[in-house]
Amino acid sequence: MTNERFTLAVIGGTGAEGGGLALRWAHAGHKVIIGSRQPEKAEEAAKQLNVLLGSDAIQGMESRAAVAAADIAVLAVPFAAQQATALGLAEVLAGKILVDVTVPLMPPKVSQVQLPASGSCVVDLQQALGDGVRVVSAFQNVSAHKLKDLNYQIACDVLVCANDKAARQSVIQLAGDAGLRGVDAGVLANSTVAESLTSVLIWINRTYKIPDAGISITGLPAV
Amino acid sequence: MTNERFTLAVIGGTGAEGGGLALRWAHAGHKVIIGSRQPEKAEEAAKQLNVLLGSDAIQGMESRAAVAAADIAVLAVPFAAQQATALGLAEVLAGKILVDVTVPLMPPKVSQVQLPASGSCVVDLQQALGDGVRVVSAFQNVSAHKLKDLNYQIACDVLVCANDKAARQSVIQLAGDAGLRGVDAGVLANSTVAESLTSVLIWINRTYKIPDAGISITGLPAV
C-alpha cells in the first residue's frame, strides 16, 4: 500500500480526541489544520500541539477556511453539535471526504446504548449532507487520553464504515498513520456497531475498573 | 468464582450454534436438554451430540418439557422464529433466565446492519415476555462451526447484557464453561452492539477472505 499524504482539516481539534488524532497525523507527515469557529482558539490549539510535535507544522484556522484548504475533513465535536457544525460547512465539504468521529452519547446514561431512531447518527448526517459529501464513520471507540502520547501503543482497532470503497481505504490508511489498525467494516449503516460500542466500553471500564477498554477484531491476517 | 451446575434447555439445539453450545456445556458438567417442537428431532440431535461427547448425558425433549425441567433456557433459533418460539414457552419460562442468542439478520443483505426499530430484538423480546422472565443477550458473535470441536480455542469474547446483574453473572459463567470469555457488557439495551456486530463480522470475513472474524475486548485484566 502506498501511503498518500493528505491535507486534513480537523474540526473539533481543540478537544482531546480531535487534537490527539491531529497530532498523530502531523507526526506521520500529513499537513494538518485545526478548525474552530473562533480562529484564535484554533491557533492556540495548534500551538499547543506543535509543542508536543516539536515543529510548527500544525496550523489553526476558522473552520470554513480549514475545510476549504483540505482534502479530507474530520469532525470530532460533541453529538449535540454534530449536525449543525457539519451543515454549516456543507458548501466547502462538497466533493470531499468527511470523517465523522461522533458518538451519540446521551448524558447522563453514557454507559447505556441510546442510538438515534435511524440507528446511526452518521447515517443521519450523510442524509442531511447529501451524496456530494462522502461521509466515513471511524475512531469512535478510541480512548482520547493516550492519543497525545505519540509513543503509546493504543490497543484498539478502528472500524471504518462508508458507502464509498475508496473513501474507506483512505480512512483505513489514516487509522494506520495514527498508529491504529483500521478495519474495513462495510457500508455506512454498519456504523451502528461503532456508535453503540462506546457505551459498552464505558460500562466495561466502570465495571472492571480499567482505564481504556477497546476492541480488537480477531481472525484477521497479520499485516 | 464457584462454578454452579445448571440444568440447561437449549431450544434450537438442533441447529449448529445451539448444538455446539449444548455440547460444550455438557462437556463442562451441566445437565443439558435439547428442546424442539418435535421431540423425535430433539432426541436425534441429542444422540448425535452424545457421539461427540462420548456419553449419554444430553437428552432430547419437546421444548415445553425441556424448559420446564431446566434452570436456564437458551434460545438459538432463526430471527424469524424468535418471538413466536419464546412466547409459546412463556408459561414455563416464568421465573427463569432466558439466554437469547438471536441475531436479527435480514437476508439477503446479511453483511449490512438492519436492526429492528427499537434497536434490539432482545429488548423487544424482554418487553413481550414481561419482567417475569430475565432475558440475557449473549453468544451472537461466536461462529458456530468450530463450537463442536471441543478442543478448538475460539478467539471471540461473549458480550453479556441483561438488566439483572445475577443473571449476567450466570451467563458469564456459561460463556467460560463453553471455553469462551464472557464480558459484562451492561444493561439489555446494550445488546445492540452484539446484534449489529455479527453483520460486520460477516462483512469482514468476506472482505478479508477469512473464516471466523471475532472480537476481543482489550484492556481487561488477565483472569
Query: Closest Cα to residue B57, out of B22, B97, B15?
Result: B22
Candidate from B185, B201, B221 with C-beta closest to A200: B185
Q: With a cut of 50, list the residues of chain B below it in pLDDT.
A: 1
Q: Tell me if A190 and B203 make a contact (CB, 8 A cut-off).
A: yes
Q: Which of A112, A114, A218 sits opposite B215 (nearest CB)?
A: A218
**Residue B179, by phi and psi: left (phi above 0), alpha (psi -120 to 50) or beta?**
left
Inter-chain Cβ pairs, chain A and chain B, closer than 8 A = 131
Instruction: State how far the alpha carbon of A3 is from the alpha carbons of A25, A167, A173, B13, B184, in Å.
Output: 12, 14, 7, 49, 39
Q: Closest approach of chain A CAs to the CA of B196, in angstroms?
A: 6
| Maximum Cα–Cα distance across chain A | 46
Contact, A164 vs A170, CB < 8 A? no
Extract the runs of DSSP E, i.e. beta strands, from B113-157.
134-137
pLDDT band of A50, cuts 50, 70, 90: very high
High-pLDDT (> 70) share of chain A, %: 99
Chain B residue numbers touching A111 (CB-CB < 8 A): 186
Q: Answer whether residue A38 shows pLDDT above 80.
A: yes
Q: Is the pLDDT confidence value at A223 over 90?
A: no
Q: Minimal Cα distance from A111: which residue of B?
A: B186
Chain A's closest residue to B193, CA to CA, is A193
Q: Is the peptide bond before A39 cis (omega within 30 degrees of 0)?
A: no
Q: What is the pLDDT of residues B167-215, one digit of tens each?
A: 999 999 999 999 999 999 999 999 999 999 999 999 999 999 999 999 9
B146 neighbors B212 (Cβ within 8 angstroms): yes
Residues of B within 8 A of A217 (CB-CB) are 201, 204, 213-215
Say if the Cβ atoms of B214 and A210 lie within 8 Å: no
Which of A192, A197, A219 is facing B155, going by the closest CB pair? A219
Place of cell 460500542: A197
Cα angle for residues A157, B138, B220 (degrees, 5° grid): 45
The distance of A208 to chain B (nearest Cα, Å) reads 7
| Residue A144 CB neighbours (<10 A) | 17
Query: What pLDDT sits at residue A2?
Result: 57
How many helices (H) and strands (E) are present in chain B, helices listed first?
8, 9
Residue of B nearest to A209 (CA): B220
Q: Which residue of B has its CA nearest to A113?
A: B190
Phi and psi at residue A107, to the nearest 5°: -55, 150
User: By CB neighbour count within 10 A (0-12 exposed, 13-18 middle, 19+ buried), where does B52 fall?
Assistant: middle
A103-131 confidence digits (pLDDT tens): 999 999 999 999 999 999 999 999 999 99
- Looking at the predicted structure, is the pLDDT value of residue A145 above 90? no
Q: How many CB atoms lie within 10 A of CB B211?
A: 9
Q: Pick the residue of A183, A207, A209, A218 with the most B CBs within 10 A to test the interface with B by mutation.
A: A218
**Predicted pLDDT of residue B21:** 98
Its ipTM equals 0.96
% of chain A with per-residue pLDDT over 90:
96
Task: Check CB contact under 8 Å for B218 and A215.
Answer: yes
CA distance A209 to chain B (A): 9
- Higher per-residue pLDDT: A223 or A195: A195
Q: How far apart are CA B187 and CA B208, in angstroms?
A: 32
Q: Per-residue pLDDT averaged across A13-17, rounded?
A: 90
Our CA-based measurement puts residue B102 at a distance from the nearest CA of chain A, in whole angstroms, of 16
Q: Which of B155, B190, B200 sits opposite A199 (nearest CB)?
A: B190
Taking CA atoms, what residue in B is nearest to A213? Answer: B219
Alpha helix positions (H), chain B = 16-27, 39-53, 63-69, 79-88, 90-93, 121-129, 165-177, 191-208
| Omega of the bond leading into B78 within 30 degrees of 0 (cis) | no
Q: Residue A186 belongs to what H/E stretch?
A: strand A182-186
- The contacts of residue B27 (CB under 8 Å, 6+ apart) are B53, B150
| CB-based contact B213 A218, cutoff 8 Å | yes
Query: Could you give the CA distance from residue B73 to residue B102 in angstroms, rounded to a whole number?
Result: 13
Query: Looking at beta carbons, which residues of chain B come within 8 Å of A159?
Result: 200
Give the closest of A111, A155, A192 to B219, CB-based.
A155
For residue B2, the model assigns a pLDDT of 57
- Binning pLDDT at 50, 70 and 90, where does residue A1 land? very low
